[in-house]
Amino acid sequence: MAKKWIYLFEEVEQAEKYAGSWEGVRGLLGGIGSGLADMTRAGVPVPPGFTVTTEACNEFRKTGKFPNGQWDEELAALKVVEHKTGKKFGDPSKPLLVSCRSGAKFSMPGMMNTILNIGLNDKVVDGMIKLTKNPRFVYDSYRRLIEMFGTTVFNLEDEVFEHPMDEYKTKKGYKLDTEMTAEDWKTLVGTFMEVYKKHVGSEFPQDVYKQLELATKAVFESWMGKKAIDYRKATNISDDLGTAVNIVTMVFGNMGDDSGTGVAFTRNPSTGDKKMMGEYLLNAQGEDVVAGIRNADPIENLGKAMPEVYKQFMDITAKLEKHYKDMQDVEFTIERGKLWMLQTRNAKRTAKAAIKNSLDMANEGLISKEEAVLRVTPEIVDMLLHPQFDETALKTAEKSGAYYVTGVNASPGAAVGQVYFDADTAERMAKEEKQKVIMVRPFTKPDDVHGMIASQGVLTSEGGASSHAAVVARQFGIPCVVGASKMKVDLENRIMEVDGKVVKESEWISVDGTTGKVFVGKIPTVETKIEEQTDLLTLLNWADNLAARPDIRILPDGRKAPGLQVWANADYPKDARRARSYGAVGIGLCRTEHMFFETERLPVVQRMILAKTPEDRKAALDELLPSQRKDFDGLFEAMNGYPVIIRLIDPPLHEFMPDEEKLFEECVTMRVKGETKGLKEKEDLLAAIRGMHESNPMMGLRGVRLSIYMPQIVEMQVRAIFEAAADCTLRGIVVKPEIMIPLTGTVKELEWIQPRLERIGKTVMEEKKVNFHYKFGTMIEIPRAAVTASELATRAEFFSFGTNDLTQMTFGYSRDDAERNFLITYVAEGILPKNPFQTLDRGGVGKLMQMAINDGRKTRPELEVGICGEHGGDPESIEWCHMIGNNYVSCSPFRVPIARLAAAHSALKYSGQKIIEDK
């Protein structure tokens, strides 16, 4: 059977049969065409019409001609429309006018062509004047057709028509189009005809079928117009989709005071409130409402002006909401007392309205709770929880040239402050001068944390999504942009520079951690707090319940299991409390070394590292123990009843020491000046630091290697953990400590260290005469650990994927440098689909994880598995963790709400499915 190129609105069933699904119909007839057809099917009054398919468009694009049969079908469809309307195309005694509108599968507002009033020519104009007795309206319609035809079919500039029209109005002393009389429009039609002939080189076609043919072609061609191509590129819409063309009977809202036109939302799109919001104008055309030429009336007033029509409108919109089960954005026209619906689509809405609307619709029984949770995307939650730049102000700033530089969007939210180039100054300006501060550095180190915490935002020129600055900023919810590599930070002269644009210390900048963009000057922000987001809290509650259903996943051995839990990465009790308030049900990573950087502790830590005798080292460690115990005590108390994973010391020791270069400079200066007091100590320190130098510290003496090399540190840590847990137990707090050994590469490492640590734990429990449940486990951060997981699981009671290191070591990309150099280019060139430090690389890193879970659980079926790398807060990575059988994901407290929602989305998407196994 020959292909069908045209579908009448009432032929939607046929289209559905051909396309196989509603998604397919949308692809075939476009968003508008499928919407009009669907409304027709639902019994909503839609002006009769038909759609030329996207397949016809794609054929046209190949050959430059209508495909065989299209034009005949178009004429036949027009006959049906004539029959339905009782009008006739090109017949002055009962003229049918149509519009010709583009409509692709995905909405591309304003990017393609539309021509209205097709079917008017000199004779039809005369006929219509007789019929309507409204020459002003008819001439106005005619001049619109000539103008639209010239600009869209022949690509004439708008000005060629607008210029003479403006001149005419000025001559007449008119300001508004509404002042134009019938005679005026008639004169202008004459002028437009001349303009058309001059620029096109022929007369305006009086043959209405020619008009229709050229208009259809013009809409097809507009798919490949520059505007449309650019828009598709920016929004990831494929060029292959093509546009449909909708030929729709014209209805007129400007036929007198019993006519009108309007737009409305079935609920409030900014608050989500269940109240119709819209406006209308009597005796006007659609674009008059949008253009704001006259002040429109609120939609409620239509109830007084036309009670019957209003009632019908309210009934129809209620029906549309029910049909689409979503808030609708509708356009309508009233022609001589008859209501026509011209368009309906799911309304665009704010984050707040999206959540309220989902909850309301579930409570009204319109959608299920599952659907309500699925409708709210993690990005919406992100938007609600971080301060954002005011959208209008942001646009104005962009237009006025305030844009400065772009980097990696490391931690979301908007920050505005004065620039300072070191942590001490940043902290001082914030605390003492009460300034709002943005700390700018080439990169940050652990001893910069106090400056970061005091800042509104952080900006670095180096580093990537798992660099120190990024990890710490996310942990504390500080907006952060890293790796803005076009920016040069000149610490000596206290300036930064991008392409000659210099920003000096104390100048204001605005940092958008959500997009990675940085602006010069202040952009206003809008704030939010989670406790105030009651709708969001309800929705997240629903999400948790869905993910916690006991039969959401099927384990390889056939047992049923719930979805993912969400834990948090938190180092301090106050972070743990925040994590709880955001809904975390465990701590998945406490990086204990952060506690060593506290100002009063660092000298003791340094003394401990530099100790020459075991006695000196022990003395320093004894000094550190009480403060570590206090830290852990606070964590257990905040997480009463929930598991707390504490990781033993991980980074290389040199990170705790003063900066080598700075120290060297100090020594040289002292020598030059002849100062001797304290010189020897400094030089000894310098020699010690140099002794610790490693070419590849990330692969050097860190993690479990450091524990084996210098076991006293972790022995102190384990004692502190168990003492704190015992003290808490005695106070009635339920503790669930889990001790995590980082960077393991072979089970032999665990066999060496773990029994010693377990012995300490047992000793403490005996000393304190208490018993509580604890676990020892390890991080999977090295490919070898994943590959030998079955062996590791003989010792480890839990695994936690440290995917920052695992990504680094699997790809062989430095987590600190790659994003500054080639990684961004790799993503831009499509060599990598996404930044693997932000979104898990399923094919490589993800596969290793899958293997580790399978093999680990073969040894230990109850093995608890989590993730604590930065991917633990990324929705796409969370989905993978669900699919391969993680028990939980752990992320920064600020990302916990997003992760809860993402966990529920994964649970719903794969509900009842088997965990995918590595074969």
Hey, which residues are catalytic here? 468, 868
User: Of 46-54, 448-456, 756-764, 796-804, which segment contacts ligand PEP by CB under 6 A?
Assistant: 796-804
Task: Report strand pairing: 277-282 vs 297-298.
Answer: antiparallel
Q: CB 872 → ligand PEP: shortest distance, Å? A: 8
Whole-angstrom CA distances from 641 to 546, 632, 719, 734, 797 are 22, 14, 21, 5, 19
> End-to-end CA distance of the chain, in Å?
46
Residue 292 phi/psi, 5° resolution?
Answer: 65, 30
- How far are the Cα atoms of 448, 607, 611, 620, 759 from residue 615, in angstroms, in the given order? 31, 12, 8, 9, 21
User: Pick from 73, 221, 360, 781: which binds ligand PEP (CB under 6 A)?
Assistant: 781
Which structure tokens are listed for 799? 């695994």
Q: How far apart are CA 887 and CA 699, in angstroms?
A: 29
CB of 703 to Mg ion, least distance (A): 7
Partner touching 868 among ligand PEP, Mg ion, none, CB below 5 to 8 Å by kind: ligand PEP
Residue in 140, 805, 841, 879 binding ligand PEP, rule: CB under 6 A = 805
Q: Helix (H) and strand (E) counts for the chain? A: 37, 36
Query: Phi, psi at residue 489, to the nearest 5°?
Result: -100, 115
Q: Which amino acid is at 48?
A: P
| Residues 786 to 805 in contact with Mg ion, rule: CB under 5 A | 802, 805
802 or 885, CB closer to Mg ion? Answer: 802
Dist. CA 193–CA 121, nearest whole Å: 11
Nearer to ligand PEP, 418 or 804 (CB): 804
Contacts of residue 19, Cβ cutoff 8 Å, sequence gap at least 6: 25, 27, 28
Range in contact with ligand PEP (rule: CB under 6 A) among 92-100, 386-394, 765-773, 803-811:
803-811
Q: Which residue stretch of 127-135, 325-333, 596-604, 802-810 sits at the interface with ligand PEP (rule: CB under 6 A)?
A: 802-810
Please, which residue, 90 or 651, has the CB nearer to ligand PEP?
A: 651
Q: For the purposes of burial, counting CB atoms within 10 Å of the CB of 291, is it exposed (0-12), middle (13-18) or buried (19 or more)?
A: exposed
Q: Taking the complex as a whole, how short is the minimal distance between the CB of residue 752 and ligand PEP, in angstroms?
A: 21
Q: Which is nearer to Mg ion, 631 or 805 (CB)?
A: 805
- Among 802, 846, 875, 893, interactor with ligand PEP by CB under 6 A: 802
Residue 869 binding: pick among Mg ion, ligand PEP, none (C-beta 5-8 Å cut-off by kind)? ligand PEP
Size of interface with ligand PEP, in residues (CB under 6 A)? 11
Is residue 745 a contact point for ligand PEP (CB under 6 A)?
no
Kindly tell me which of 791 and 805 has the beta carbon lying closer to Mg ion.
805
State which of positions 512-541 bind ligand PEP (CB under 6 A).
Answer: none
Cα gap 583→605, rounded to integer Å: 34
Per-position x/- string for 613-652, each x denoting binding to ligand PEP as judged by CB under 6 A, each - no binding: -------------------------------------x--
Check residue 591 for interaction with ligand PEP (CB under 6 A): yes
For residue 497, the cross-strand partners are 488, 502
How many other C-beta atoms can be found within 10 angstroms of the C-beta atom of residue 358? Answer: 26
Q: How far is CA 361 from CA 327, 538, 916, in A?
A: 9, 14, 34
591 binds, among ligand PEP, Mg ion, none (CB under 5 to 8 A by kind): ligand PEP
The DSSP secondary-structure symbol of 30 reads H
**Shortest distance (Å) from residue 521 CB to Mg ion:** 38
Residue 757's binding partner among Mg ion, ligand PEP, none (Cβ under 5 to 8 angstroms by kind) is none
Contact 518, 459 (CB under 8 A): yes
Nearest to ligand PEP of 740, 747 (CB atom): 740
User: Which is nearer to Mg ion, 215 or 410 (by Cβ)?
Assistant: 410
* E-strand stretches of 684-797: 736-741, 775-780
- Sketch the per residue contact string, 449 through 488, with ligand PEP: x for CB under 6 A, - otherwise: ----------------------x-----------------
Nearer to ligand PEP, 481 or 809 (CB): 809
| CA distances, 46 to each of 84, 280, 288, 322, 326 (Å) | 12, 18, 21, 18, 20
Measured from the CB of residue 697, what is the shortest distance to ligand PEP in angstroms?
12
Binding positions for ligand PEP, 649-688, rule CB under 6 A? 650
Is residue 890 a contact partner of residue 569, using CB atoms and an 8 Å limit? Answer: yes
Please report, for residues 490, 666, 678, 687, the alpha-carbon distance to residue 669 in angstroms, rounded to integers and kept in the order given. Answer: 22, 5, 13, 17
Task: Select from Mg ion, ligand PEP, none the partner in contact with residue 608, using the beta carbon and a kind-dependent cut-off of 5 to 8 Å.
Answer: none
User: Contact letters (x/-) for ligand PEP, 160-189, by CB under 6 A?
Assistant: ------------------------------
Query: Segment near ligand PEP (CB under 6 A), from 177-185, 404-412, 513-521, 800-808?
Result: 800-808
Interface region with Mg ion, contact rule CB under 5 A, candidates 354-362, 720-728, 776-784, 789-797: 776-784
Contacts of 193 (CB under 8 A, 6+ apart): 146, 203, 204
| Amino acid present at 526 | V
Q: Fill in the DSSP letter of residue 918.
A: P
Beta strands in 860-915 (DSSP E): 864-867, 888-891, 913-914
Question: What does the DSSP 8-state code read for residue 872?
Answer: G
Residue 127, contacted partner among ligand PEP, Mg ion, none, CB below 5-8 A by kind: none
The answer to whether the beta carbons of residues 520 and 404 sit under 8 Å apart is yes
Q: In sequence order, what are the beta bridge partners of 779?
A: 800
Contact status: 820 vs ligand PEP (CB under 6 A): no
Measure the CA–CA gap between 327 and 214, rounded to whole angstroms: 37
Residues numbered 736-775 forming contacts with Mg ion, rule: CB under 5 A: none
Could you give the CA distance from residue 341 to residue 317 in angstroms, rounded to a whole number?
A: 9
Supply the minimum distance, in Å, between the C-beta of residue 631 and ligand PEP: 17
CB atoms within 10 A of CB 431: 12
Q: Does 872 interact with Mg ion (rule: CB under 5 A)?
A: no
- Residue 868 touching ligand PEP (CB under 6 A): yes
Residue from 103, 586, 869, 897 that binds ligand PEP (CB under 6 A)? 869
Q: Which is nearer to Mg ion, 44 or 704 (CB)?
A: 704
Residue whose pair of structure tokens reads 């500080």 in the numeric block: 478
What is the distance between the alpha carbons of residues 718 and 391, in angstroms, rounded to a whole number?
50
Shortest reach from residue 895's CB to Mg ion, in Å:
18
Taking the complex as a whole, the smallest distance from the CB of residue 789 to Mg ion amounts, in Å, to 17
User: By rule CB under 5 A, what count of residues binds Mg ion?
Assistant: 3
Question: Is the CB of 288 or the CB of 650 nearer to Mg ion?
Answer: 650
Q: CB 910 → Mg ion: shortest distance, Å? A: 28
- Nearest distance from C-beta of residue 229 to Mg ion, angstroms: 44
Residue 484 Cβ vs Mg ion, minimum distance, rounded to whole Å: 25
Q: Helix, strand or coil for residue 277?
A: strand
- List the single partner that 803 binds among ligand PEP, Mg ion, none, CB under 5 to 8 Å by kind: ligand PEP
How remote is the C-alpha of 125 from its chain's centroid?
Answer: 52
Contact (Cβ atoms closer than 8 angstroms) between residue 914 and residue 554: yes
Q: Which parts of 817-856 interact with Mg ion (CB under 5 A)? A: none
Q: Which residue's CB is nearer to Mg ion, number 95 or number 651?
A: 651
Task: Name the minimum Å distance from CB 65 to ligand PEP.
Answer: 59
Distance between CA atoms of residues 71 and 125, nearest Å = 26
Taking a C-beta distance cutoff of 8 angstroms, is the pair 503, 496 a contact? Answer: yes
CB of 569 to ligand PEP, least distance (A): 7
Q: Amino acid identity, residue 139?
A: Y
Q: Which of 278/651 has CB closer to ligand PEP?
A: 651
- Give me the residues that bind Mg ion (CB under 5 A), please: 781, 802, 805
- Give me the residues that bind ligand PEP (CB under 6 A), please: 471, 589, 591, 650, 781, 802-805, 868-869
